[in-house]
Amino acid sequence: MKIICVCGLGQGTSLILRMNVENVLKDLGVQADVEHTDVSTASGMSADFIVTSNELAQSLLGHSASIVIVNNYFDLNEIKEKLQEAL
């Protein structure tokens, strides 16, 4: 399974989100290849899931991946809840 964590510029925020997603997946016992990038690059990448904000999700409509919307990239409980719903 491949998961892409997306922010506007693909720098700091998406990296933090990636680390938090990896921690949550580890707790859930789920294996996945997790990457982070900017919204423009993500639109051309293949993935099973894209984790991003509601604002950026609008830019990714039509992507083949399932979009997982997270409001707070630092809230491990929210990330866990949203990923469990998606998986």
Output the pTM of the full model. 0.93
Can you spell out the DSSP letters for 18-86?
Answer: HHHHHHHHHHHT---EEEEEEHHHHTTS--SEEEE-HHHHGGGTT-SSEEEE-S-TT-HHHHHHHHHHH
Reported as a single tens digit per residue, the pLDDT across 1-27 is 999 999 987 678 999 999 999 999 999
pLDDT higher than threshold 80 for residue 83 = yes
| Catalytic center residues | 7
More confident residue, 8 or 56: 56
Question: If you average pLDDT over every residue of the chain, what do you get?
Answer: 94
pLDDT-derived band at 67 (thresholds 50, 70, 90) equals very high
pLDDT at residue 9, rounded to an integer: 78
Task: Please report, in angstroms and rounded to a whole number, the separation of the first and last CA atoms in the chain.
Answer: 10
